[in-house]
């Protein structure tokens, strides 16, 4: 601000320099993180809201670095997009998520689907189709057991490459969902044009139901759009029985959230769901 004196200004620039240094540090470590085997995945169950039965799982990435500690994706995914490291990270996530699904199924767990987050830059890269194909082949999984979650940003660019990539993925049987649906862009046109199979109803709107009228209205609208277009809906961020009951009343049958479980390490996930679903 104008009121900053000379010392204030120096403190300000020092702060900026510090921030840049931290960023540089983070990006330097990030570059070697796949190679150094510093990532792992936790798995959040996706359940049938009526019965609590397991239907699938969303893989969520975690980064453990010796000097930076344990980090959630919010701290590094954007950086990885900027530097391009997301392409290699994304390839690793696909491979590891599919490997885990294969291992669970071999261990007798009744689970038919793994959902993987795909970022914008990763989607644009030449590498995506190839990575998906390799991940499925290596784990000997059919395409329909893999669901990719894209952000709306991927879809608004009405780009011929987007169409080609989506068609190719759908041709492999891969399920394609729109993450955080309703948060971002209002151009819903892409829903008609692209071979989408589902929507993730954003937790932003689940938080307010059943009391907040505008959140209720958004959930109703999304459900209406989805059912008239024949799209699957998964509600995310389900935290309370009241939210679950509201969703069931709306006709949304699948959800995930802290009411059921946070992201779990794979062995805990297996333990919890092997014997059948808790309520």
Please pick, from the candidates 251, 258, 268, 276, the single residue that binds ligand C2E as defined by CB under 6 A: 258
Q: Which is nearer to ligand C2E, 179 or 250 (CB)?
A: 179
Instruction: Give dist(CA 55, CA 236) in Å, integer.
Output: 14
Please pick, from the candidates 46, 57, 100, 117, the single residue that binds Ca ion as defined by CB under 5 A: 117
257 scored as a contact of ligand C2E (CB under 6 A): yes
Shortest Cβ contact with ligand C2E: which residue? 257
User: Two tokens at 160?
Assistant: 């011929």
Other C-beta atoms closer than 10 Å to the C-beta of 3 total: 5
Other C-beta atoms closer than 10 Å to the C-beta of 273 total: 22
74 scored as a contact of ligand C2E (CB under 6 A): yes
34 CB-near residues (< 8 Å, 6+ apart): 85, 88, 89, 92
Please pick, from the candidates 68, 95, 239, 253, the single residue that binds ligand C2E as defined by CB under 6 A: 239
Residue 239: which of Ca ion, ligand C2E, none does it interact with, CB under 5 to 8 A by kind? Answer: ligand C2E
Task: State the Rg of the chain over Cα.
Answer: 20
- Give the CA-trace dihedral at 151, 186, 218, 196, to 10 degrees: -50
72 scored as a contact of ligand C2E (CB under 6 A): yes
The angle at the Cα of 140, spanning 138 to 142, to the nearest 5 degrees, equals 125
Residue 139: which of ligand C2E, Ca ion, none does it interact with, CB under 5 to 8 A by kind? Answer: none
Instruction: Give dist(CA 169, CA 91) in Å, integer.
Output: 15
237 scored as a contact of ligand C2E (CB under 6 A): yes
Instruction: Give the residues across from 42 on adjacent strands.
Output: 60
Residue with tokens 């194909």: 133
Q: Which is nearer to ligand C2E, 32 or 72 (CB)?
A: 72
Residue with tokens 């009526």: 50
Instruction: Give the residues across from 59 on adjacent strands.
Output: 43
Subset of 143-202 contacting ligand C2E (CB under 6 A): 179-180
User: Two tokens at 179?
Assistant: 């993450």
Please state the closest distance from residue 92 (CB atom) to Ca ion, in A: 17
Please state the closest distance from residue 12 (CB atom) to ligand C2E, in A: 31
- Euclidean distance between the first and the last CA atom of the chain, given in angstroms as a whole number: 55
Is the distance from CB of 125 to CB of 156 less than 8 angstroms?
no
The site string for ligand C2E over 93-132 (x = CB under 6 A, - otherwise) reads x-----------------------xxx-------------
Instruction: Give the residues across from 201 on adjacent strands.
Output: 181, 235
Please state the closest distance from residue 117 (CB atom) to Ca ion, in A: 5
73 scored as a contact of ligand C2E (CB under 6 A): yes
Subset of 135-164 contacting Ca ion (CB under 5 A): 149
Residue 185: which of Ca ion, ligand C2E, none does it interact with, CB under 5 to 8 A by kind? Answer: none
Please pick, from the candidates 85, 96, 152, 180, the single residue that binds Ca ion as defined by CB under 5 A: 180
Applying CB under 6 A, which residues contact ligand C2E? Answer: 44, 60-61, 72-74, 77, 90, 93, 117-119, 179-180, 203, 236-239, 257-258, 262-263
């Amino acid at each position: 601000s104008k009121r900053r004196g000379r010392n204030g200004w120096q403190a300000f620039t020092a702060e900026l320099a510090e921030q840049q240094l931290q960023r540089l540090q983070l990006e330097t470590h990030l570059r070697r993180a796949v190679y150094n085997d510093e990532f792992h995945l936790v798995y959040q169950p996706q359940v049938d809201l009526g019965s609590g039965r397991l239907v699938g799982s969303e893989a969520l990435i975690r980064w453990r670095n010796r000097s930076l500690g344990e980090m959630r994706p919010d701290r590094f995914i954007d950086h990885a997009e900027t530097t391009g490291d997301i392409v290699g990270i994304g390839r690793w996530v696909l491979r590891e998520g599919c490997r885990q699904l294969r291992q669970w199924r071999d261990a007798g767990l009744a689970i038919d689907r793994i959902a993987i987050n795909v970022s914008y830059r990763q989607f644009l890269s030449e590498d995506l189709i190839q990575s998906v194909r390799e991940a499925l082949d290596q784990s000997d999984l059919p395409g329909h057991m893999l669901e990719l979650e894209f952000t709306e940003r991927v879809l608004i660019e009405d780009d011929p490459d987007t169409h080609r990539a989506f068609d190719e993925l759908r041709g492999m049987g891969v399920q394609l969902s729109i993450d955080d649906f309703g948060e971002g862009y209002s151009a819903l046109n892409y829903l008609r044009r692209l071979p989408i199979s589902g929507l993730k109803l954003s937790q932003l709107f689940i938080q307010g139901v059943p009391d907040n009228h505008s959140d209720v209205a958004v959930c109703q609208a999304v459900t209406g759009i989805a059912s008239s277009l024949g799209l699957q809906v998964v509600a995310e961020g389900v935290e309370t029985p009241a939210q679950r009951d509201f969703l069931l009343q709306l006709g949304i049958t699948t959800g995930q959230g802290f009411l059921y479980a946070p992201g779990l390490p794979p062995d805990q996930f297996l333990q919890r769901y092997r014997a059948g679903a808790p309520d």
